[in-house]
Amino acid sequence: MPQRGDASSWGDRLGVAWQNSGYNQPPHTSYHLGGGMAAPPAPDARTGPAQAASATLLGESLAVVELPVGAAQVAVAVETVRLFADGELIAARPGLSAAVGDRLWLVFDRDAVEAALDGYRGRVELTLTGHLLDGRSFQARIEIKT
């Protein structure tokens, strides 16, 4: 009987891991990787910190966000826009302004914000994050009074 830490014990574990991940798999890919294939384009991947955006609260549940410099030339990936209050995701409906291309309008659920900030009094910051279609991300802070 192998003891804990014994080499045969590790071999048995590796064999089980191999069977779980590679056993009964086809020996070929479902796509072509061969000669005559054109080189794939390089991915447009960008890394770095989120770019600063500024936000202004208009009324009780509407904010306008001034997007980062150069964002007017690219589109916002609207499905990536998120609003957080004390780390809790708040329901929000973003939309781009038709009049000015570098602004994002955000309608959010004020009741959900109040519920997430239950117990807080005074001025509180909400965090808005999102991505542009060119891969850059942006972040803004919205100050509200509770």
Per-residue pLDDT of the chain (146 residues; tens, 9 = 90+): 555 555 555 556 656 665 666 566 666 667 766 777 788 777 766 667 788 888 888 888 888 888 877 766 567 888 888 899 888 898 888 876 543 567 788 888 888 888 888 888 888 888 988 888 878 888 988 888 87
135 within some domain = yes
CA atoms within a 13 Å half-sphere pointing along the CA-CB vector of 80: 14
Strands of 88-90's sheet in order across: 51-52, 137-145, 123-132, 76-85, 88-90
Cα dihedral 22→25→26→31 (10° resolution): -80
87 within some domain = yes
CA distance 137 to 130: 6
112 within some domain = yes
106 within some domain = yes
pLDDT recorded at residue 138: 87
Task: Please state the domain count of the chain.
Answer: 1
CA distance 50 to 61: 24
Q: Name the one residue in this structure whose structure tokens are 């980062």.
A: 68
40 within some domain = no
75 within some domain = yes
**Phi, psi (5° rounding) for residue 26?**
-65, 145
**CATH code of the domain covering residue 97:** 2.60.40.1220
Residue 75 lies in domain: 51-145
Give the residue among 74, 73, 71, 45 at the shortest CA–CA distance from 140: 71
73 within some domain = yes
pLDDT recorded at residue 67: 80
**Phi, psi (5° rounding) for residue 25?**
-105, 145
19 within some domain = no
pLDDT recorded at residue 7: 53
